[in-house]
Structure 1
Amino acid sequence: MFTGIIEEVGTVKTVKRSSNSSFIEIQAEKVLEDVSIGDSIAVNGVCLTVTHFSSGVFQADVMNETLSRSSLGSLASGSPVNLERAMAANGRFGGHIVSGHIDGTGIVTDVRNDGIAVWYTISAIPGILRYIVEKGSIAIDGISLTVAKVTDTSFSVSIIPHTASQTTLATKKKGDTVNLENDIIGKYVEKLMKPAENTEKSGITMEFLTKNGF
């Protein structure tokens, strides 16, 4: 589990893609301070497993499906990426619950300055927008952000200078693709509110409850 608080911006060193397997190599510092093989690191919001590391570099295998269904497929040597280690049990919960399993991608449709802040508007499909609520949480490229506005076709966030300086958001422009992960709580609530399928009826009815004094 992650929190959406980016620890550092790393740099892609190599992306190798083939028909059978792919891997990405990333230069970093902070996230490698206590790294072990098998650790989880979120790269632009996508949870990847460390398969190899050396001084200043780690490598992770990436399924071709992940490359094609996320913004990771557009990465190249020199691309900056947001990095966050999985949250420690005694860590500070500064963002929101982020699983590292993105729901899809969005497209930056507008970037505008508003005093010291910068507004980003992102278009997304209805299946993603249905879980986005004003003042709720959204992870954009792994960054925990608060939704400022939602429409039928897009949503907007307002970024303070610190967030822009500590993440890759400052490099985003109109037309760029970003990874999106909805707040997982909303998805669980929706699932639990649906009637259970293929289960036997309990036999408890309003008539039964009234007859027995309920």
Structure 2
Amino acid sequence: MFTGIIEATARVQESGNGCLSIERPKAFSDIRIGNSIAVAGVCLTIKKLNKKCIQFDVVSETLRRTTLGLYKEGDTVNLERAMKADGRLDGHIVQGHVEGIGEVVSVSTSSPRPPPPENRPYPSIPRPLPPREEGGAQNNGWIKESTPKNILLYARTMRKNPTEAEEVLWKRLRNDALGARFRRQYPLGGRILDFYAPIIRLGIEVDGGIHLTKEAQEDDSFRSQYLADDHHVSILRFSNKEILEHTNHVVSKINAYIQKHTHSLPPVEEGLGMEGPRVEMNIAVPSALLQNIIPKGSITIDGVSLTVAHIQDNEISIALIPHTIENTTLGILQKGDQVNIETDILARYAQKQKA
């Protein structure tokens, strides 16, 4: 049995011929051959393992009912070890028995993108920024630009492997230490900010030696201007040397900016915390599963325990908080992607009794 609280993500190393091999997360040091692991929501039994790899057998029925047969080398999957009897049930009861495959219909943000300044078109965006077509106008507003999967994956990698200067500064920023919640390696506008505080739209960039060249400085200047014009984000830049040798001075500068820009902020809406907007996703599910899905009930998507916000016809709406976006594969889903669906076992038993 599982809980739907993802413990790690890992890359697929090999897939095919009834076999699935994935990277072994460092946190999974206690697993043994014969143990069960939920892989993208599918309960699988460990066949072989070593320090770097976990291998499973995948039967034809599993391939038919789930998305496991679609994974290729390099793809990322959600992982959860089986729940211990004395563990906390932070999600809901998940069996790992996928009932069907759903399809992502739409992905959107709960707050519209602000319109561009009057008579000021956004500047052209050099690579690797996404093309303008990804964020065109719609219904007199602006829709959210989708973030390329490679950028999201790269951001996760950078978050797991910070530089010395980034680690030092993060210790001073984390846990709302300065009165604003910062997030590390935050994808925005096709680039990745080292630190970002959504509540005040403040980005902090930690610049290494490569930023000393004239070309790099011009690119940094353009990038800061683009973020200001296009996303209304202010940037504070510090060198590695400044952070490592004058940490208190750097923190004082950041704190001064925060104090100046937080005194007039409106109160945070209940339930949203300081992170602000959530990502909302609509998923089409097999019609046979709808009888076991209710508004505000639980559902498992690719192994993640989620709450159903709304149901319309054969589509369900779910909301993804920043933690889920950053720590699971749901953050990189796009329209047309397929996902594993498992409905709430309690709803299934209730439906069986009713019948």
Taking structure 1 as the reference length, the TM-score comes to 0.86
Q: Which stretches in structure 1 are left out of the alignment for 5+ residues?
A: 195-214
Structure 2 residue 5 is the aligned partner of structure 1 residue 11: no
Query: 1:70 is matched with which residue: 52, 60, 66?
Result: 66
Match of 2:97? Answer: 101
Instruction: Give the Cα–Cα distance (whole angstroms) in 1 for the partners of residues 307 and 343 of structure 2.
Output: 11
Instruction: Give the Cα–Cα distance (whole angstroms) in 1 for the partners of residues 99 and 304 of structure 2.
Output: 14
Query: 1:181 is matched with which residue: 338, 342, 351?
Result: 342
CA contact (8 A) 1:104 1:180 kept: yes
Query: Aligned Cα RMSD in Å?
Result: 1.0
Match of 1:207? Answer: none
| Count of equivalent residues | 190
Letter of the structure 1 residue corresponding to residue 322 of structure 2? P
Structure 2 residue 337 is the aligned partner of structure 1 residue 160: no
Instruction: Give the Cα–Cα distance (whole angstroms) in 1 for the partners of residues 292 and 353 of structure 2.
Output: 15
Structure 2 residue 301 is the aligned partner of structure 1 residue 140: yes
Q: Deviations over 1:4-36 (max 9, x none)?
A: 00000111000122xxxx110000214521011
Q: Which has the higher helix share?
A: 2
Q: 1:192, CA displacement in angstroms?
A: 2.0
Query: 2:85 is matched with which residue: 80, 85, 89?
Result: 89
Q: Deviations over 1:16-74 (max 9, x none)?
A: 22xxxx11000021452101110000000000000100012100000022112211111
Identity of matched residues, %: 46
Instruction: Give the Cα–Cα distance (whole angstroms) in 2 for the partners of residues 42 and 165 of structure 1.
Output: 19
Alignment of 1:116-127 (within 5 A): 116-127=277-288
What secondary structure, in the 3-state scheme, does the structure 1 residue paired with 2:295 have?
coil
Query: 2:110 is matched with which residue: 111, 114, 120?
Result: 114
Structure 2 residue 60 is the aligned partner of structure 1 residue 61: no
Alignment of 1:185-196 (within 5 A): 185-194=346-355
Structure 2 residue 342 is the aligned partner of structure 1 residue 151: no
Letter of the structure 2 residue corresponding to residue 188 of structure 1? Y
Match of 1:35? Answer: 31
Q: 1:101, CA displacement in angstroms?
A: 0.1
CA contact (8 A) 1:31 1:85 kept: no
Instruction: Give the Cα–Cα distance (whole angstroms) in 2 for the partners of residues 31 and 87 of structure 1.
Output: 15
Q: 1:128, CA displacement in angstroms?
A: 1.0
What secondary structure, in the 3-state scheme, does the structure 2 residue paired with 1:13 have?
strand
CA contact (8 A) 1:122 1:156 kept: yes
Q: 1:155, CA displacement in angstroms?
A: 0.3
The verdict on how the C-alpha distance between 1:46 and 1:35 changes in structure 2, with shifts beyond 3 A counting, is: same
Letter of the structure 2 residue corresponding to residue 9 of structure 1? T
Match of 1:204? Answer: none
Instruction: Give the Cα–Cα distance (whole angstroms) in 2 for the partners of residues 97 and 189 of structure 1.
Output: 14
The verdict on how the C-alpha distance between 1:133 and 1:30 changes in structure 2, with shifts beyond 3 A counting, is: farther
Q: Which has the higher strand share?
A: 1
Match of 2:173? Answer: none
Q: Which stretches in structure 2 are left out of the alignment for 5+ residues?
A: 112-276
Q: Deviations over 1:66-105 (max 9, x none)?
A: 1122111110000100000000111111000000001101
Q: Deviations over 1:135-182 (max 9, x none)?
A: 100000000001111011200101011111000011100000000000
What secondary structure, in the 3-state scheme, does the structure 2 residue paired with 1:32 have?
coil
Structure 2 residue 14 is the aligned partner of structure 1 residue 49: no
The structure with the largest alpha-carbon Rg is 2
Instruction: Give the Cα–Cα distance (whole angstroms) in 2 for the partners of residues 183 and 5 of structure 1.
Output: 15
